[in-house]
Amino acid sequence: MSRPVFACLALVLGLVAPVAVPAPAQAVTIEINIGTNLNNGRAITCRGGGRLLRNRGFRDVRRVDCRGRFFVYRARRAGGYFESR
């Protein structure tokens, strides 16, 4: 009679014991930047945005629209035409 009781007790302890141990807490560091990685968070002028594109390998950079929140440029790079916003 005691053998099945011990077997059930061992089974219950085997299933419950690993769940009862809490996992250790870990800290997470999140870095948040305002702006883009192109300007390090500073404001970009329309002319400055074209200069940043030229510095990154784009050629024939043309300003399409410099009104509003986003500036639109058309440029060439590696034989293809791109529209950047």
pLDDT in tens, 14-71: 666 555 567 777 766 666 555 566 666 667 888 888 898 888 888 898 988 888 888 8
3-state secondary structure of 75: strand
Tell me the C-alpha distance between 53 and 45, whole Å: 12
Neighbour-count burial for 31-52, b at 16+ CB within 10 Å, e otherwise: eeeeeeeeeeeeeeeeeebbeb
pTM of the predicted structure, to 2 decimals = 0.50
Q: For residue 21, what is the DSSP state?
A: S
Quote the Cα angle for 75-70-56, to 5°.
Answer: 35
